[in-house]
Each structure stands twice: as C-alpha cells, then as structure tokens.
C-alpha cells in the first residue's frame, strides 16, 4: 500500500485544493454571478452530458485500466492497446450518435414544460459528452501507469479554476450567457489536450498501429467486457446525476440550482474516496491479473475503514456547520432550503465510502458480468424512487431516493463479494468509528452557539476536530492512519 498512500496523499492535497475552489465557485460566486435559472441550466447541461458519456464510451476507460498491463511489458506491443482504444472511442461515438437520433425527441420531451431551454443546447451537450469520453480514456491510462495526481489536478483544480475565470468573464458582461456555456465546454477540451500533451512530453504516449495483430479471442473478450462495464458506468452516473435532471423536469431550473449547491456541500465528504479509490483500483486490477486475492482482500478492508474514518470527520464538519455556511453564503436565505439535501446526500456518501471499493473489485474480477444486474437494479430503483418521492417531498425526496438507492446497491454488492470471494470489508472498528461519530454529533449539536457565523464555525470546527482526533488516536481503528501519525511524530521529534 506504500505507493497507494503516497499517491493518495498527493491526490488528497489536490482534491482539497480543488474543493476549496469549488466551494468558492458554488457557494459564493455562482449565487452572485448567475441567476438561479442560469445556474440550474448550466448544471443541467453538464448533468445530461455526464449521463450520456458512458453510453458513448462503451466501457473503454475501464478496459484500458484492466488490459493495458498485458501489452506494456515489451516495446513490440507497447502502445498497441492504447491505439486500439482510441480508435474504438471514435467508433463508439459514431455509433452512439446514430442511435441517439432515434430517441432524442423522446428524451428531451421530459423537459418541454419546465425546462425548454435545455433542448436548445442539444449539440453542446453532445459535444461535451464526447469530450468526456476521451477524458475518461486518458485518465484511465494515467491510472494504469499508477499516476493519479496529474488527472486529479486537471479534474479537481484546472477545470474548477477555469470555471471561476469563465464565470467572472460573464459577470463582467464581456460575453453573453450562451458564450459562457460554450467557453465552459471548451475548458474540458483544453483539459484533454493538456493531459495528452503531458504524456507526450514525458514520453508515455505511445501510438502503435499494429492493432490487427490482436487475436480474435482477445477482441471477443474485450468487447464483452466493454459492454458489461458500460452498463456499470451508466448505473454509477445515474445515481449521481439523474436526480438533477429529474428535479429540472419536475420542479424547474431554480430548484435544481438549490439542489446543486446542497449536493456540492455533501460531495465534499467523499473527497478521501476520490483520492484513495483510484490507486486502490489500479492495485486491485493488477492483483486480479496475477491472481493475488490476498492483496485484494487487504485493499478492500483498508479502503473501507480509512475512507469511513476520513468521511465521518468531514461529514461532521459539514453537517454541524450548515447554519454557518448558509449564514455566510450570498443569498443564503434562498439556498438554505437545501439543508436536508446535504444531510441525506452526505449520509449516502458515507455509506458509499464505508462499503469500500466493492465496485472496483467486481469489475476487475472474473465476476464482472454480474455488475450489469446490479446496475439494472440501481437504475430502476433510482428512477422509481425519484419518480415517487420528488413530487411528494420535492428536493428532500430526490436526496432520500439517492440515499436509499446507494445503500441498497452497496449492500447487494457486498453480499455478492462475500458469497463468491469469501471476504467482506467490515470489522469491529467499523462500529467504533460509527459510534464515535454519532456521539460527537449529538454532543456538538447541543453545545451553545455563537451568533457570529464565522466565529461559530471556528468554534464548532475546533471542538469537532479535537474530539475526533483524540478519540481516533485512543481507539486506533486504522493501522495506516496510525502509521502516518507515528511517522509525523518521529519527524517532529527528529
């Protein structure tokens, strides 16, 4: 796990920097620079593109991570698989575009009443989705090279700081809102170009057109894997993005803007997962390739407890400071109706982190075909729950639907792994972490509050941090975190 900890540490630093920029954008700049309708439309366009991208990608990103190690050992085969994936990417986009023409009228008809402006940006959505296809492929290539820092930097920092710049340009009225949307999409194209340029500069981007040397059995295996993984990717993005589109369809752009801001606050909780999961994913893929199940089991348990500890800490900081955040936020009185969304989505992030890297294990193993059944369950459950709960409970219904779907999805996957591979991610330390988190929440919730939101945030955050760190050091639920703490102590003493 040494390389995981090192890369994850760098990636975590970049993630938190990106979240800081994202927080400034979402909580402070967007409410000032954009109207609720503009923010709702802006986010709906990106949500639609994110949902369409996995259909056009056909599992090529994940296939790169799984199969690239087979063809990177010798100079003769180096670059051959990457070239094949890039060519298949163009083919997949073309096929998707043809089939999408058959259903686009039906799909966009859901937005005719409450959000007709979304239909006007049809081609912008598709172009963004296609750019995202190649970004996913190149990011997977980086991960296969055991490098998560650069793609994390581009995704979490570069794209967000670019969004800040573009939003400011629009605020100064140097461009129209339509041009703002086009420039926002162009930042993704620029990010893709930079990722490829870095690989070329580091002499890691190899093109080998001897793709016809692949044997038919392998191509058949690859195609089958791609189709199953595509289903998994679609299901994963549905649970994250479809609620925004369904809110837009049922409630309009303004309510989607409130939901987007609240959802962002909750996603801060999963930052540790974004740092840990990609490197764990790479090691799991390699371990299955060489049939090292003990390593997979080890990574599974470590990812579960470490993600849960870090996620619980951030959850407490966010949820217990909601009044302070909305008190500081411009137009906070409008957006504070999304507080319940932060709570439910935050809990869903904790659930996802606590179950560990179960999705990565399934899709990297020989059992990957089962993933399609889990995804079908997830997709149906998510859409049905949103359809039922949004008209009844509004934004809270969408958040509750996500929490229910994520819990069910993860529970089914954990039981499947336990039955087939004979290991699961939990231990008694899991209960101790949850107990400590619940105890701190109840204690801090009833503490006296200060009237000034800035001072109150500092006061509550200090108490939460002190209690959490002391109790975690006392109970020692994670060997990895304790090891890092001991190393820091040694450096301080030295």
Task: Please write the tens of the pLDDT for every residue from 275-323.
Answer: 677 667 777 877 776 777 888 888 888 888 888 999 999 999 999 999 9
CB 231 within 8 A of CB 371: yes
- Angle 473-477-479 from CA coordinates, rounded to 5°: 90
What single DSSP character describes residue 211?
G
Query: Both tokens of residue 361?
Result: 């294990």
Distance CA 494, CA 482 (A): 18
Using a 10 angstrom Cβ sphere, with 0-12 exposed, 13-18 middle and 19 or more buried, the burial of residue 81 is buried
Distance CA 187, CA 163 (A): 8
On average, the pLDDT of the chain sits at: 85
pLDDT at 5 over 60: no
CB 225 within 8 A of CB 369: no
pLDDT of residue 1: 46
Task: Please write the tens of the pLDDT for every residue from 344-403.
Answer: 999 999 999 999 888 888 877 888 778 778 877 888 888 899 999 999 999 999 999 999
CB 230 within 8 A of CB 55: yes
* Domain boundaries, given as residue ranges, for the chain: 2-484
pLDDT above 70: percentage of residues in the chain: 90
85 vs 340: which has the higher pLDDT: 340
Task: Please write the tens of the pLDDT for every residue from 431-449.
Answer: 999 999 999 999 999 888 8
Residue 325 confidence class, pLDDT cut points 50, 70, 90: very high
pLDDT of residue 485: 66
- Angle 73-67-373 from CA coordinates, rounded to 5°: 165
Distance CA 391, CA 249 (A): 11
**In angstroms, what CA-CA distances link 14 with 19, 150, 160, 311, 393?**
9, 9, 12, 17, 36
pLDDT of residue 211: 64
pLDDT of residue 278: 67
73 vs 218: which has the higher pLDDT: 218
Mean pLDDT of the region 445-460: 91
Task: Please write the tens of the pLDDT for every residue from 480-492.
Answer: 766 766 666 666 6
């Amino acid at each position: 796990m040494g390389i995981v900890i090192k890369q994850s540490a760098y990636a975590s630093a970049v993630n938190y920097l990106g979240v800081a920029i994202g927080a400034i954008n979402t909580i402070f700049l967007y409410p000032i620079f954009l109207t609720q309708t503009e923010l709702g439309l802006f986010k709906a366009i990106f949500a639609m593109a994110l949902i369409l991208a996995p259909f056009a990608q056909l599992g090529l990103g994940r296939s790169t991570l799984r199969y690239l190690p087979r063809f990177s050992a010798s100079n003769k085969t180096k670059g051959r698989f990457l070239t094949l994936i890039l060519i298949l990417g163009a083919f997949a986009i073309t096929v998707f575009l043809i089939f999408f023409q058959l259903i686009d009228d039906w799909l966009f008809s859901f937005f005719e009443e409450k959000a007709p402006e979304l239909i006007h940006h049809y081609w912008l959505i598709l172009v963004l989705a296609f750019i995202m296809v190649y970004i996913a492929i190149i990011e997977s290539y980086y991960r296969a090279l055991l490098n998560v820092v650069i793609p994390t930097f581009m995704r979490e920092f570069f794209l967000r700081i670019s969004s800040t710049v573009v939003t400011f340009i629009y605020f100064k009225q140097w461009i129209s809102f339509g041009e703002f949307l086009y420039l926002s999409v162009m930042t993704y194209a620029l990010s893709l170009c930079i990722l490829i340029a870095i690989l070329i500069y580091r002499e890691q981007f190899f093109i080998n057109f001897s793709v016809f040397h692949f044997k038919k059995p392998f191509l058949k295996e690859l195609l089958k894997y791609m189709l199953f993984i595509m289903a998994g990717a679609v299901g994963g993005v549905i649970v994250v993005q479809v609620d925004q589109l369904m809110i837009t369809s049922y409630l309009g752009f303004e309510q989607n803007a409130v939901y987007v801001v609240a959802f962002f606050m909750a996603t801060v909780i999963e930052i540790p997962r974004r740092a840990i999961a990609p490197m764990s994913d790479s090691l799991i893929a390699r371990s299955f390739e060489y049939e090292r199940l003990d390593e997979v089991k080890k990574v599974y348990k470590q990812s579960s407890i470490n993600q849960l500890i870090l996620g619980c800490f951030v959850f407490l900081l966010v949820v217990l400071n909601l009044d302070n955040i909305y008190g500081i936020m411009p137009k906070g009185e409008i957006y504070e109706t999304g507080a319940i969304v932060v709570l439910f989505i935050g809990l869903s992030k904790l659930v996802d982190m606590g179950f560990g890297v179960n999705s990565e294990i399934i899709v990297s193993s020989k059992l990957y075909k089962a993933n399609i059944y889990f995804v079908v369950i997830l997709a149906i459950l998510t859409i049905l729950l949103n359809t039922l709960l949004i008209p009844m409970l509004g934004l809270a219904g969408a958040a509750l639907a996500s929490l229910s779907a994520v819990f069910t999805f993860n529970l089914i996957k954990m039981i499947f792994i336990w039955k087939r591979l004979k290991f699961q991610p939990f231990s008694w330390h899991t209960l101790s972490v949850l107990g400590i988190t619940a105890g701190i929440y109840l204690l801090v919730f009833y503490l006296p509050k200060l009237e000034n939101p800035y001072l109150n945030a500092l006061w509550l955050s200090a108490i939460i941090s002190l209690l959490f760190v002391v109790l975690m050091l006392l109970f020692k639920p994670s060997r990895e975190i304790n090891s890092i703490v001991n190393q820091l102590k040694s450096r301080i003493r030295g």
